[in-house]
Structure 1
Amino acid sequence: MSSYRKVVIITGASQGIGAGLVQAFRDRDYRVVANSRNIRPSGDPDVLAVAGDISDRAVAQHVMEETLTHFGRVDTLVNNAGIFTAKPFTQLSANDYASNISVNLTGFFFLTQLAIEHMEKQGSGHVVSITTSLTDHAIEGVPSVLASLTKGGLNAATKSLAIEYAKRGIRVNAVSPGVIRTPLHAPETHEWLAALHPVGRMGDVSDVAQAVLFLESAGFVTGEILHVDGGQSAGH
């Protein structure tokens, strides 16, 4: 086991943005620990799949234990797991609220805490969270209170953690996407979703991956909320 190759943990890694991030980091020769509820084992010896609900602290502990057992270190954590519930505010149920808090906030909290604890011992590390531009620029017809409440919380936590750990070799950033073309969006919605962005198209998974890799390589950048949204957050 070599400790010289960098290691990244990616949550929500089974499809969409998460799967794209796994491939992007492998292309840079990182070893990858990929987590999601139902992720399948990988045939790549440098990709360790660890299944489980990341909002469960026991799962977060298991992910960290498996990471250190197999790869001996963790250099980067990408908090990608998340859910989005687009319902009018007064129609949101207690279960909707609990689910969004659980995945979007609790899932971030425990694993980030464990990862930073190890990064402190290493004297280096990087945490990136995937949020949403809806926290900065609400859109009529796209109910997003729970996204704003939870992902907006991640944006705020990103800045707070960046300052808390700035002198300890740990950087903390976020990528704030617009609507990204993934299997979650039915083809018949693409034209309408594309029109939400001033550039007139939806984003691609590769757009988000490139932004995360930029932050990974930008050693003087911390506390940044990097918008990858085709101008959505700038206005219409």
Structure 2
Amino acid sequence: MSNDQKVAIVTGASQGIGAELVKGYREKGFRVVGTSRSIKPSEDPDLVTVAGDIADPTTAARVVAEALERFGRVDTLVNNAGVFIAKPFTEYTAEDFATMLGVNLHGFFHVSQAAAEAMAKQGSGHIVTITTTLVDHPMAEVPSVLASLTKGGLNAATRSLAIEYASKGVRVNAVSPGIIKTPLHPAEAHETLAGLHPVGRMGETSDIVDAVLYLESAGFVTGEILHVDGGQSAGR
């Protein structure tokens, strides 16, 4: 099998933004390795699925190993898997804390480390992480300290990795969304959530996919935190 075709890994790939990212990369001709706890087997020979919890280091290792064994390379990693729990600070439990650290930070660390090693060896690659605009623009309506704690760390790590790996041919960027219309948000909340954005609407999954694919083709962009948030980060 030829290994000239580019390969993307997408975490949190079974639904919402992740599932649309898989479609977007396949439409651009990438082979894809998608992972999530509930992902189903694929009938597409150019789409490999790996079921598992990305917070588990063995899942991260399997995902990168599958990409290398099946397709011979890793060109892009999209760290899309994430957990968001909105609660007043004093109502967070130890379980909430462990869950968000596990998926948002441990998952990022283990799979990014394995992917970065493979990319550095081949002399090229791109890591993109989905964070949240609440890091830069907290809102009283959406109490989210643990999201800021974990995703804010990912924004900082994005800039640091971009500098560390620039000379190795590996770019590192992030997309910072506003509130996106996914199954996470019930339809009856959409009008209220839309009103939290200066443009007056929630984001669509396609808005995030478009941003990620822009960064994919933007060879002179690294260390960027690209806000796709309907103007939230600019102010209200």
TM-score if structure 1 supplies the norm length?
A: 0.99
Which residue of structure 1 aligns with residue 48 of structure 2? Answer: 48
- Deviation, 1:43, is 1.6
Q: Percent identity?
A: 67
Q: For residues 1-236 of structure 1, what are the structure 2 equivalents within 5 Å?
A: 1-236=1-236
- Deviation, 1:91, is 0.5
Q: How many residues align?
A: 236
**Deviation string, structure 1 residues 28-50 (Cα, Å, up to 9, x no partner):** 01000000001001121111000
- Deviation, 1:2, is 1.2
- Deviation, 1:140, is 1.1
2: CA distance, partners of 1:32 / 1:184: 24
1: CA distance, partners of 2:198 / 2:5: 40
2: CA distance, partners of 1:190 / 1:137: 20
**Deviation string, structure 1 residues 46-101 (Cα, Å, up to 9, x no partner):** 11000100111111111111111111100000000000001100000000000000
**What amino acid does structure 2 have at the position aligned with 1:147?**
A
2: CA distance, partners of 1:26 / 1:41: 16
1: CA distance, partners of 2:185 / 2:42: 26
**Deviation string, structure 1 residues 92-143 (Cα, Å, up to 9, x no partner):** 0000000000000000000000000010110000000000000000011211
**What amino acid does structure 1 have at the position aligned with 2:204?**
D
**What amino acid does structure 2 have at the position aligned with 1:171?**
R
Uncovered stretches (5+) of structure 2, i.e. residues with no partner: none
2: CA distance, partners of 1:104 / 1:212: 18
TM-score if structure 2 supplies the norm length?
A: 0.99
Runs of 4+ in structure 1 over 2 Å off: none
| Residue aligned with 2:38, SS | coil
1: CA distance, partners of 2:161 / 2:123: 15
| Residue aligned with 1:188, SS | helix
Uncovered stretches (5+) of structure 1, i.e. residues with no partner: none
1: CA distance, partners of 2:107 / 2:66: 17
Aligned-pair Cα RMSD in Å? 0.5
- Deviation, 1:194, is 0.3
1: CA distance, partners of 2:166 / 2:34: 27
- Deviation, 1:188, is 0.2
| Residue aligned with 1:165, SS | helix
| Residue aligned with 1:179, SS | coil
